[in-house]
Amino acid sequence: MTVEKQGVVKVLKHESEILKNNPLGDRHIRDLYVYLPPDYESKTDANFPVVYCLTGFTGRGKMFLNDNAFTPNLAERLDKLIGDGTIKPMIAVLPDCFTYYGGSQYINSSATGNYEDYLTEEIVSFVDENFRTVQDKNFRAVMGKSSGGYGALIMAMRHTDKFGLVCSTSGDAYFEFCYFPGIAEGFRAMKGDAKSFMEKIWRETERKGKDDFAALNTIGMSACYSPNEKSELGFDLPFDLETGEIRQDVWARWLARDPVRLVEKSVENLKRLKLLFIDAGTRDEFHLDLGAKILSRRLKDFDVPHIHEEFDDGHFNIGYRQNRSLELISRSFENE
């Protein structure tokens, strides 16, 4: 049996000025996991392209390295793909953008902190300063799944000065389909008190109910999409706390963050990308395959070059789709 050469995962402490004094009191000194490909240490005269990997809601970069008996983690996956020549050697960066509410969607918010700036203004330069990277946007990619896919799309629409290649797997899009069912379930689980619900979520000995994730997701998205510094919570929920009726003014603020709605104002940036790839499983439990289909149609309407694919699966346990993103990213690196 051939054993692939193994890359090395470095763990760095990064002290963020941007996250210091963030509104939730979340840590501003965070672990940054960086995968270095085999031969990085020996080929000291070589610089390497970089892929930034964004986790989904409730995730942080370290989770890409979870051990599983039957599924390779991201480092193992990269070792194999590089080892068999499927992809060229590259650095992978696994940032931590987790918050008290479960995530940041990789955007700035007065309710959570400026995680979009944290990623684009601090982490990218920190990595370039500490590792032998190719400091060119066309050799810097970003990929992610679910909320990480949403974050990747935000980078595509707003930060093409930093990222020239973007891959979104099951990324949040077309909010009517991906969020509406969960909003109703979340309303029931929250029982009109978001603050007490969050205290329950964080109690280690508390049993979590079947609709609790829906409530957490609704709170987390509200903190990102409808912040309100004048509100007691720091954000507005999208429903009436007594009846659950949708608050149309708040929902409109959510829709303004929907990638489908953002395409029109982002066309110029999107057309600068060297690669834009979106995919989703046709049985996605959050209907994100429909969101991807609608997003692809919108991109076509504005003549934005992209690749759209579907696969026969759901939303969970689809880490194998990372291979497809990494292969397309590597192919784009090679063609530069």
Could you read off the pLDDT of 90-120 as tens digits, one per residue?
A: 999 999 999 999 999 999 999 999 999 999 9
Residue 83 shares a structural domain with residue 187? no
Task: Give the whole-angstrom CA distance, residue 20 versus residue 42.
Answer: 37
Q: Which domain holds residue 202?
A: 177-255
Given 231, 255, 279, which residue is the final one in a domain?
255
Q: Average of pLDDT values for 265-271?
A: 98
37 domain residue, yes or no: yes
Look-up of token digits 């931590």: 96
Spatial separation of the C-alpha atoms in residues 46 and 189, rounded to whole Å:
53
Task: Using pLDDT thresholds of 50, 70 and 90, give the confidence band for residue 3.
Answer: low
What is the average pLDDT across 303-316?
98
Tell me the β-bridge partners of 52.
93, 142
Model confidence over 279-309: pLDDT tens digits? 999 999 999 999 999 999 999 999 999 999 9
Of 191, 187, 196, 141, nearest in space to 164 by CA? 141
Residue 118 lies in a domain: yes
1 domain residue, yes or no: no
Which CA distances in Å does 127 have to 13, 34, 138, 154, 259?
Answer: 12, 9, 16, 20, 27
Surface-to-core class of residue 319, CB atoms within 10 Å of its CB (0-12 exposed, 13-18 middle, 19+ buried): middle
Phi and psi (nearest 5°) for 304? Answer: -90, 115
Residue 178 has pLDDT above 60, yes or no: yes
Q: Verify that 231 and 289 share a domain, yes or no.
A: no
Q: Which of 211, 226, 255 is the last residue of a domain?
A: 255
- Tens of pLDDT, residue by residue over 71-85, are 999 999 999 999 999
Write down the pLDDT at residue 66. Answer: 96
36 and 67 assigned to the same domain: yes
Q: What is the 3-state secondary structure (H, E, C) of 282-333?
A: CCCCCCHHHHHHHHHHHHHHCCCCCEEEEECCCCCCCCCHHHHHHHHHHHHH
pLDDT for residue 1: 43
Tell me the CATH number at 81: 3.40.50.1820
User: Hey, how many other C-beta atoms are within 10 angstroms of the C-beta on 136?
Assistant: 12
Residue 124, token pair as written in the block: 């990218």
Domain shared by 185 and 161, yes or no: no
Task: Confirm whether 2 is domain-assigned.
Answer: no
Number of domains present in the structure of the chain: 2
